[in-house]
With several copies, the nearest count.
Chain A
Amino acid sequence: MTQTQSTEAARAPAKNDSIHSESRRTFMKLAAGAGAAVSVTSKLAWANGEIGFWAKDLPSDKLTEMFNTIVRIRWYERTCVDKMITDPKYRGYNHFYPGQEAVAVGVCAALNNKGPFNELDLVYSTHRPSGHAIAKGADLKKMAAEYEFRATGLNGGYAGEMHISDKSCGFIGADGMIGPGHVIATGSAFAFRARGSKQVSVVFGGDGTYATPHFHGALNNAALLQLPFIYVLENNLYHQYAHYSYSCPMKDIASAAKTYGIAGVVVDGQDVFQVYNAAKTAVDRARAGEGPTLIEAKTYRYYNHWGAPGAKPGQLGAFGYDPLAISSFRPEREVRAWMARDPVDICRDTLITWGVFDRAKADAIEAAAKKEAIEAFEWADKQPFCKPEDGLKNVFVEGAVPARQFG
């Protein structure tokens, strides 16, 4: 985690979150010093010492829940991939998130996701929304039904994957466009500030968002008005099939924060606790009226941009040439190298190291997550299709627009 900004200040962890930290810290030092954790250290990214390591101060049930959320995302996605490549009747198209789970979970764990709408922190998502939606609290069954365009889906079949949303947990939703969501998200932050609320507005976006004109509009105005706004830039190295160096002249996109005089942070996106630390610092800053943060999480997606070309049933990740790539494609060795630093493994191993749970418990959690995901897609398959004429509704709050296709 690199601080590109000096405004960073150590802040005391919120009361209800501080527990067991002393013993965990001690254990951490012992393990590191004695080399006892050697077999897992290669998968662990260590914090910059213990200062600001908020994650370590979280209660065990919260930490366990973070692992649970990671594997729920992982298995929701893997189940969906398998369905897509084995069930010819499956009609969804998807942009898969595996490899990046730690980012969604680390950020959303620092947010308020329950309660009345005017107390929720809001999350704006992208064309790759499953992870963000689940981490924010959306229901797996309803998501699966939405991905299959069913009337009982999260959004009644209007949305599909690329536009799912769930107001009840503050998930403003996916957006198929690259750029605009970031600027819109600053508007929610503006509304929070105007009404004196402590809510924060968070937007997720890829490395592809950097080059959009919207990047400037979002950060400049958030900086000028000191908005409670957090821009989580998931740098998974590629936008579609182009490496981010095609669209960005610098290595760390977070360094752009400097221009705006706001906090910019680069974080290891494979380690959910590193992400949590950065997010919590940013959330505290936002709630304190100290303005926006740009968090760049270095991460990777195990599947291709879109759909599941190169994936095999029951196997994690996609390999080989994607016919959609046409003129450029990422090397398979790169995929495998990133998979060796898997966010599920890092989270599991860290929590075992911290003594939060043992491997058996972790396996049980993962098995339950897998079961939940499978059941969600099974449930979805039994849901009713949409009524054609409902397409004329929800254009405006009231009524329906006239049919015009019949002349």
Chain B
Amino acid sequence: MARKSFMYAVLEAVQHEMRQDKDMIWIFELTPPVASTPGKPVINLEKEFGRKRVVNTGIDENWMASCVLGAGLAGSKAVTYIPYQGNCMCFQVIQNHAGKLRHMSGGGASMPVVFLLEMTGQTPGFAGQHSDYEIDTYYAHIAGVKTVVPSTPTDAKGMMAAAIQDPNPVCYLYAGGLRELIEEVPDNQYTTPLDKAAVRTTGGDITIVGSGGGMPEVLKATAVLQKQGMKVETIDLRCLKPMDTETLVKSVRKTKRLLTVDQSYYTLCPGAEVIARVAENVTGARYKRVAFPDAPPPASPEMFLWMRPNAEHVVGAARKLVG
């Protein structure tokens, strides 16, 4: 047990698997697989495993994703870290090939691969392409890949270990805004399921469902609301595909109020799916969504910070729903 950042936790899981499996590869671009944390050895996959297994080449994210897919088809475990700028450059090959090859081959294709898709850190000032948060929906709609979006270093490690061990292709979304999160994370290798939501707090007044980069603000809002006496059941979705309908439905059956929070654009944000699944199964509940408007993120911090969902927005929306 030691305090670890999100990426340290991820690389620890990867390092463990790469030591177990001498064939496993890692493809990166501009983010070298290097992480450090006080009191623990620096992890440097490139140095440890050499440039035959761990390599970067040029700016071609489609190649990166295709490379790990081809490695998987050849029987090797493989992971690629796609930088956020290129996280849609590789969309087609994941959607049309990774997602379909097992089914199209009648089960023959082997694809023990992980696409670690970095999302932007939603940094104010970066604008449009460098501060959006939208790929959760794109990747969650694909059939045949599992799509997850951990929100804590502990989940990050357990879900990366699970993703590598899973014989299915996994889109592992990494919300860059969580880069600075640090918490105690076990040193041993462990797995966290790729199909279960996490109930972060329990309560009977309202269900709040968030995921990924939005979770810190959701938890902040939860604390504020709890202090104000509201009994909040806060759920971290974690797995977008397959989605854990049971946990969601069970909660809203109890609370009859569902608030979803997304950093993704409103239209067809993961919260829409959450609401639809619940609405198909629960009657008489009330619903509300907090999400990024259907607008690209502007550079100006004044505009951007006003548009991006935060704890205050969540508190306000929860009050409207419960009040």
Given contacts A160-B126, A184-B69, A190-B27, 9 further A-B contacts (CB under 8 A): A118-B75, A157-B106, A157-B298, A173-B108, A184-B67, A187-B69, A390-B303, A394-B103, A394-B107
Distance in angstroms between the alpha carbons of A271 and B76 in the assembled complex: 36
How far apart are A166's CB and chain B's nearest CB, in angstroms? 8
Are B58 and A247 touching (Cβ within 8 A)?
yes
Are A391 and B295 touching (Cβ within 8 A)?
yes
Range of interface residues on chain B? 35 or more
Q: Can you give 17 contacting A-B residue pairs, CB < 8 Å?
A: A149-B301, A150-B300, A158-B103, A158-B105, A162-B299, A183-B70, A185-B70, A194-B23, A196-B52, A212-B60, A213-B63, A220-B57, A220-B60, A326-B34, A388-B303, A395-B102, A405-B308
The residues of A with any CB-CB pair to B shorter than 8 Å are 91-93, 117-118, 122, 149-151, 153-160, 162-163, 165-167, 172-173, 175-180, 183-196, 199, 201, 208-214, 217-218, 220-221, 224-225, 239-242, 246-248, 326-327, 385-397, 401-407
Are A187 and B73 touching (Cβ within 8 A)?
yes
B98 and chain A: residue at smallest CB distance: A184
Are B290 and A407 touching (Cβ within 8 A)?
yes
Interface of B is mostly: mixed
How far apart are A141's CB and chain B's nearest CB, in angstroms? 16
* B281 contacts partner chain A, Cβ-Cβ < 8 Å: no
CB within 8 Å for A155 and B62 given contacts A92-B125, A190-B67, A404-B290: no
Are B105 and A193 touching (Cβ within 8 A)?
no
Which of B46, B57, B144 has a CB less than 8 Å from the CB of A211?
Answer: B57
Are A93 and B125 touching (Cβ within 8 A)?
yes
Are A187 and B102 touching (Cβ within 8 A)?
no
Are B60 and A167 touching (Cβ within 8 A)?
no
Taking CB atoms, residues of chain B closer than 8 Å to A122 are 73-74
The residues of B with any CB-CB pair to A shorter than 8 Å are 22-23, 25, 27, 30, 32, 34, 44, 46, 52-53, 55-60, 62-63, 66-76, 78, 85, 89, 92-93, 96-97, 101-110, 125-130, 143-144, 146, 167-168, 242, 259, 266, 288-310, 313-314, 316-318, 320-321
Are A395 and B295 touching (Cβ within 8 A)?
yes
Taking CB atoms, residues of chain B closer than 8 Å to A185 are 70
How far apart are B113's CB and chain A's nearest CB, in angstroms? 9
Are A149 and B299 touching (Cβ within 8 A)?
yes
Distance in angstroms between the alpha carbons of A145 and B296 in the assembled complex: 21
CB within 8 Å for A407 and B85 given contacts A92-B125, A389-B306, A396-B102: no
Are B259 and A183 touching (Cβ within 8 A)?
no
Taking CB atoms, residues of chain B closer than 8 Å to A155 are 104-106, 108
Query: Which of B53, B78, B93, B318 is packed against the most chain A CB atoms within 10 Å?
Result: B93
Taking CB atoms, residues of chain A closer than 8 Å to B146 are 396
Query: Which of A154, A165, A190, A386 is packed against the most chain B CB atoms within 10 Å?
Result: A190
Are B303 and A177 touching (Cβ within 8 A)?
no
B70 and chain A: residue at smallest CB distance: A187
Taking CB atoms, residues of chain B closer than 8 Å to A209 are 59
